[in-house]
RNA sequence: GGCUGAGUGGCAGAGUGGUCAUGCGGCGGACUGCAAAUCCGUUCACGCCGGUUCAAUUCCGACCUCAGCCUCCA
């Protein structure tokens, strides 16, 4: 299996630390608002990758943190006039709802910063003892980047480059522009006592402390959105390696950004759509397929048109299973499965994998007869990416409709009667009227079914 | 300004030194009372300029354009 390692900027053969086991840490959410589909992109990518890996026989220990202490959370809480932890609790709940409705697996552990203050303090103490941390008078505690020779390796920049970049505000307490806060001294908001006084952890340190607690000082893969590469991941590497003299994560994986109108979708640009917005009109698997149709490292431009196209593809796949039962075992067509595996094992080439799936689906349709074994293969492969988990019946009726189900059934019966009497004018009118309301009727094997269109 | 990635047919998006991506859409058929679904056929391509090569969309160099990071960001 090959994985593109951001650290070496090369596609490398993946060598696990322990045979057939993968320890994986993905940087999760900072919870102060509803998640948007840019966030969803990253976590759906990893969800599909992990589902595939497990399907392929890997034992994946998946850790994804929740950052529940942070300036933005504290600020949002102040505005909402509730405590920071109450606010983050609320949005953790919303996040779980959204992730669940997107069909994502829960990680094996989902550690929160507020539960790991001791580990964080211990780590800062270690760094301080080893001479990597400093503070001046009443300043925050900083990491001394000059002391870490490899600083900048991941994000491919030198300390000189960082220093020469334009800055809005310069912190005079820092030795170097790139030095970052390990412990933020503060008495407002939510704080904890520490050897450096009352305060809270800086950003970055939590991921080092928590990943090491659950996966050890060295583990296989560390992932996250591309926008975390610098400074977040760079800083994680610096503090972790300095604290332990170990390598920390072996492989770094970064997902590409989601764009909208040629710009990255982000909170600060206010150009985002929430998961809840999109799921009003589109089945969660449509969004998932939309993402998987592009390689995980490439940017994706969001558009409704794109979602509709993904839906057309998914519709075709669900159509195959409309009336069929599926036996749960592999059978023939080793070629299809082998090809699927080679695509996925080549840095998780989901677009290619889906192409194979589409071809395979077509080959089933070509025969014009039910092939349970092929359908089983297809379903199993789709499931390994988190697709086709719904019943076709639910899938095709997803979204809000203007009618009660019984009403639609009545229209269908009325139309059937009209057709029997060769009153096609009335029959077609009923069908057209429903179509206008987003209900599509299909005559299949003498039976009429309905689908919601979007 | 520095660093990184990308530019493929109407659209989305893989891949490759010389044969086809694929899907959607369009067009023409089959099927259907008509549709839908499905099938068959068909159309449309590799940013620009040089170089290497018997051969380049694929390798090399310049250029143009776009995006990301350099500040919080999945």
Residue numbers 314-333 of A with CB closer than 7 A to any atom of strand B: 315-316, 319
Buried residues in A313-348 as b, exposed as e (16+ CB within 10 A): bbbebbbbbeeeebeeeeeebeebbebbbebbbebb
Confidence band, pLDDT 50/70/90 cuts, at residue A52:
very high
Query: What tens digit of pLDDT does each residue of A412-432 get?
Result: 999 999 999 999 999 999 999
**Residue A412: its pLDDT value, please?**
96
Question: What is the distance between the alpha carbons of residues A56 and A87, in angstroms, rounded to a whole number?
Answer: 39
What is the model's pLDDT at position A195? 96
Distance in angstroms: CA A351, C1' B41: 26
Judged against a pLDDT cut of 70, whether residue A331 lies above it is answered with no
The whole domain housing A326 covers 299-396
Between CA A87 and CA A34 the distance in angstroms is: 11
A427 touches strand B (CB under 7 A): yes
* A10-13/A2-5 β-pairing: antiparallel
Considering the domain architecture, whether residues A245 and A199 belong to the same structural domain is answered as: yes
pLDDT of residue A70: 92
Do both A124 and A207 map to the same domain? Answer: yes
Do A244 and A315 belong together in one domain? Answer: no
The span from the CA of A346 to the CA of A344, in Å, is 5
Q: Does A154 share its domain with A241? A: yes
Does residue A310 sit in the same domain as residue A414? no
| Strand B reaches within 7 A of the A176 CB | no
* Domain match, A41 and A109 both: yes
A189 and A210 co-located in one domain? yes
pTM for the whole thing? 0.96
Q: What's the Å distance between residue A352 CA and nucleotide B23 C1'? A: 11
Residue A207 CA: distances (Å) to CA of A63, A123, A182, A295: 10, 11, 12, 26
Chain segment A2-28, per-residue pLDDT in tens? 999 999 999 999 999 999 999 999 999
Residue A161 resides in a domain: yes
Q: Which two tokens stand for residue A83?
A: 């405590």
Give me the CA A210–C1' B61 separation in Å, rounded: 47
A329: pLDDT strictly greater than 80: no
Residue A163 has what pLDDT?
A: 82
Decide if A42 contacts A225 (C-beta within 8 A): yes
Q: Is-contact A400 A454, C-beta < 8 A?
A: no
A333 pLDDT band (50/70/90 cuts)?
Answer: confident
Q: Is the CB of A313 under 7 A from strand B?
A: yes
More confident residue, A366 or A284: A284
Lowest-pLDDT choice from A97-101, A262-266, A291-295: A262-266
Between A322 and A408, the higher pLDDT residue: A408
Choose the final residue of a domain: A396, A414, A444: A396
Q: Which nucleotide is nearest to A290 (CA to C1')?
A: B12
pLDDT band at A446 (very low <50, low <70, confident <90, very high): confident
| C1'-nearest nucleotide to the CA of A293 | B13
Tell whether the model's pLDDT for residue A345 goes beyond 90: yes
Residue at minimum CA to C1' distance from nucleotide B1: A165
Would you state the pLDDT for residue A372?
85
Q: Are residues A101 and A243 located together in one domain of the fold?
A: yes
Q: Which residues pair with A112 in a beta bridge?
A: A66
Strand B contacted by A349 CB (< 7 A): yes
User: Quick check: is A259 in a domain?
Assistant: yes
Positions in chain B where some atom is under 7 Å from a protein CB: 1-6, 11-15, 21-25, 32-40, 66-74
Instruction: Share the mean pLDDT of chain A.
Output: 93
Q: What angle do CA A237, A239, A243 make, to 5 degrees?
A: 115
User: Mean pLDDT throughout A281-309?
Assistant: 95
Structure confidence by residue, pLDDT tens digits, A211-241: 999 999 999 999 999 999 999 999 999 999 9
Contacts of A129 (CB under 8 A, 6+ apart): none
Contact A69/A31 with Cβ under 8 angstroms?
Answer: no
Q: In the structure, how far is the CA atom of residue A316 from the C1' atom of nucleotide B27, in angstroms?
A: 22
The per-residue pLDDT for range A151-183, each reduced to its tens digit, is 999 999 999 888 877 665 677 789 998 999 999
- Residue A138 binned pLDDT confidence (cut-offs 50, 70, 90): confident
Q: Indicate whether A358 and A428 sit together in one domain.
A: no
Q: Is the pLDDT of residue A334 over 90?
A: no
Task: Pick out residues 135-164 of chain A having their CB under 7 A from any atom of nucleic acid strand B.
Answer: 155-157, 161-162
Question: What confidence score (pLDDT) does residue A166 get?
Answer: 66
Query: Strand B within 7 Å of which CB atoms in A 187-216?
Result: 203
Q: How many domains does the structure of chain A reveal?
A: 3
Note the pLDDT of residue A223.
97
């Amino acid at each position: 299996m090959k994985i593109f390692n951001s650290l070496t900027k090369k596609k490398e053969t993946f060598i696990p630390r322990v045979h057939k086991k993968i320890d994986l840490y993905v940087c999760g959410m900072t919870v102060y608002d509803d998640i948007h589909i840019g966030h969803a992109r990253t976590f759906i990518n990893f969800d599909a990758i992990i589902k595939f890996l497990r399907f392929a026989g890997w034992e994946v220990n998946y850790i994804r943190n929740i950052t529940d202490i942070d300036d933005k959370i504290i600020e949002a809480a102040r505005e909402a006039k509730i405590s920071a932890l109450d606010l983050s609790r609320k949005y953790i709940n919303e996040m779980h709802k959204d992730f669940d409705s997107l069909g994502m697996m829960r990680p094996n552990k989902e550690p929160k910063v507020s539960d790991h203050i001791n580990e964080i303090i211990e780590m800062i103490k270690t760094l301080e003892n080893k001479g990597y941390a400093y503070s001046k008078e009443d300043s925050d505690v900083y990491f001394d980047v000059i002391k870490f020779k490899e600083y900048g390796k991941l994000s491919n920049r030198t300390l000189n480059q960082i220093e020469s970049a334009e800055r809005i505000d310069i912190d005079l307490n820092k030795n170097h522009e790139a030095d970052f806060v390990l412990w933020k001294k503060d008495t407002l908001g939510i704080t904890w006592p520490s050897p450096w006084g009352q305060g809270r952890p800086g950003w970055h340190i939590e991921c080092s402390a928590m990943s090491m607690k659950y996966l050890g000082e060295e583990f296989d893969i560390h992932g996250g959105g591309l926008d975390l590469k610098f400074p977040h991941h760079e800083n994680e590497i610096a503090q972790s390696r300095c604290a332990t003299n170990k390598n920390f994560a072996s492989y770094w994986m970064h997902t590409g950004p989601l764009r909208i109108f040629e710009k990255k979708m982000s909170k600060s640009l206010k150009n985002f759509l929430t998961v809840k917005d999109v799921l009003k009109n589109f089945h969660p698997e449509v969004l998932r397929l939309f993402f998987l149709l592009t390689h995980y490292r490439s940017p994706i431009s969001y558009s409704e048109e794109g979602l509709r196209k993904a839906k057309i593809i998914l519709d075709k796949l669900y159509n195959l299973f409309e009336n069929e039962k599926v036996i749960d075992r592999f059978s023939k067509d080793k070629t299809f499965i082998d090809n699927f595996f080679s695509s996925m094992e080549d840095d998780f080439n989901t677009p290619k994998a889906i192409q194979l799936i589409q071809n395979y689906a077509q080959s089933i349709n070509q025969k014009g007869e039910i092939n349970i074994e092929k359908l089983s293969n297809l379903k199993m492969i789709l499931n390994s990416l988190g697709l086709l988990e719904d019943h076709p019946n639910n899938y095709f009726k997803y979204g809000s409709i203007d009618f009660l189900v019984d009403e639609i059934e009545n229209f269908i019966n009325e139309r059937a009667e009209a057709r029997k009497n060769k009153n096609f004018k009335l029959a077609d009118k009923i069908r057209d009227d429903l179509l206008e309301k987003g209900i599509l009727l299909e005559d299949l094997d003498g039976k009429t079914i309905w689908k919601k269109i979007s």
